[in-house]
Amino acid sequence: MLTVVFVQPDGTSEAHPVAAGATVMDCAVDSGVAGIAAQCGGGCTCSTCHGVVDAHWFGAVGEAEGDERDILEFVPNRTPRSRLTCQIVMREALDGLVVHVPR
């Protein structure tokens, strides 16, 4: 099992296990992380799973592409490190990934 750390807007953090091949959104939904609604269930058609990848991890995760990038254009609180968590697939190199949950 791998781990994703979610940092809430108030600075509190919570670490949750996730299997390789699952998405960060899957981890958030399965673990009941507040602020990650995932209304489209991972279909990359909404932005309710928006997260901000920690600066330390952004190089390993990479930038949004294609449909994800298009959807993020409409997110009012997006940052240069914004990603849809449904599009981040966990792998060994991302073990310990830190994702900030936007307000």
Q: How confident is the model at residue 86, as a pLDDT?
A: 98
Question: Cβ atoms within 10 A of the Cβ of 25, count?
Answer: 26
Q: How confident is the model at residue 69, as a pLDDT?
A: 97
Q: How confident is the model at residue 71, as a pLDDT?
A: 97
Q: Which domain holds residue 44?
A: 2-100
pTM of the model as a whole? 0.96
Q: How confident is the model at residue 65, as a pLDDT?
A: 97
Query: Which CATH number is 77's domain given?
Result: 3.10.20.30
Residue-by-residue pLDDT tens, the chain, 103 positions: 999 999 999 999 999 999 999 999 999 999 999 999 999 999 999 999 999 999 999 999 999 999 999 999 999 999 999 999 999 999 999 999 999 999 9
Total number of domains in the chain: 1
Tell me if 64 sits within 8 A of 88, measured CB to CB: no
